[in-house]
């Protein structure tokens, strides 16, 4: 039963009438309507250019590399970055949650690499719970991308937000479940981490 509730937390909001088109490779998209100059420029901005499709098409379409919390109030030189390949460090946040300062502006930044194919309508969803009760849900669009022509990762900065403040919010640990998924429901990554709110970072 709890799995059903968890999946409800990540339910996608679908646009009425939206029907996904048949999947095409990055090379097929790059060569589609090649004579249209403005379309070619737009496709190039997404990394969709002839010959950029390389990579193993049997592996994952997308690799999520890092999740970062950034704030102008962080002490000089301090960064809060999760390397998503370091599963042990993510798991350690259950016993040793990261501390986020209350009442400050921060933003979430995600770094990811498109390995092959075109990804479309990709979003980052984050569900925050305290004592099993949902207290926040972030749903931010990453967008549509093709493999980067130079194989480089993409970086997406989300809109700034302000952390809650007050004695009540400083009690307990917050459990965060994060997911990267596209409009068709294909899940590219799922991970979990924990934090506490404090008077200082």
How do residues 51-73 score in pLDDT, each as one tens digit? 655 556 778 889 999 999 999 99
pLDDT over threshold 50, residue 1:
no
How do residues 101-110 score in pLDDT, each as one tens digit? 999 999 999 9
Q: State the DSSP string of 2-61.
A: HHHHHHHHT---PPTT--PPPP--HHHHHHTTTT-HHHHHHHHHTT--TTTT-S-TTS-S
The residue among 45, 9, 16, 8 whose CA lies nearest residue 30 is 45
How do residues 147-157 score in pLDDT, each as one tens digit? 887 889 999 99
C-beta neighbour count of 93 within 10 angstroms: 18
C-beta neighbour count of 58 within 10 angstroms: 7
Least confident of 110-114, 120-124, 182-186: 182-186
3-state secondary structure of 70: strand
Residue with tokens 């996608």: 12
Q: Give the pLDDT confidence score for residue 127 in this predicted structure.
A: 95
Mean per-residue pLDDT over the chain, rounded: 85
């Amino acid at each position: 039963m709890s799995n059903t509730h968890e999946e409800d937390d990540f339910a996608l909001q679908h646009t009425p009438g939206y029907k996904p088109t048949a999947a095409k490779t990055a090379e097929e998209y790059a060569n589609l309507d090649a004579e249209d100059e403005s379309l070619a420029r737009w496709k190039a901005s997404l990394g969709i250019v002839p010959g950029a499709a390389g990579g193993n098409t049997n592996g994952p379409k997308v690799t999520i590399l890092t999740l970062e919390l950034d704030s102008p109030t962080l002490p000089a030189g301090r960064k809060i970055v999760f390397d998503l390949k370091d599963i042990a460090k993510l798991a350690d946040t259950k016993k040793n949650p990261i501390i986020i300062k209350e009442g400050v502006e921060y933003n979430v930044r995600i770094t990811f690499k498109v390995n092959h194919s075109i990804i479309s309508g990709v979003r980052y969803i984050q569900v925050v719970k305290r004592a099993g009760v949902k207290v926040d849900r972030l749903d931010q669009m990453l967008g549509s991308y093709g493999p980067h022509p130079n194989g480089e990762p993409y970086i997406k900065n989300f809109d700034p937000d302000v952390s809650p403040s007050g004695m009540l919010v400083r009690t307990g640990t917050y459990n965060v479940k994060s997911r990267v998924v596209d409009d068709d429901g294909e899940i590219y990554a799922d991970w979990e981490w924990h934090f506490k709110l404090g008077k200082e970072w």
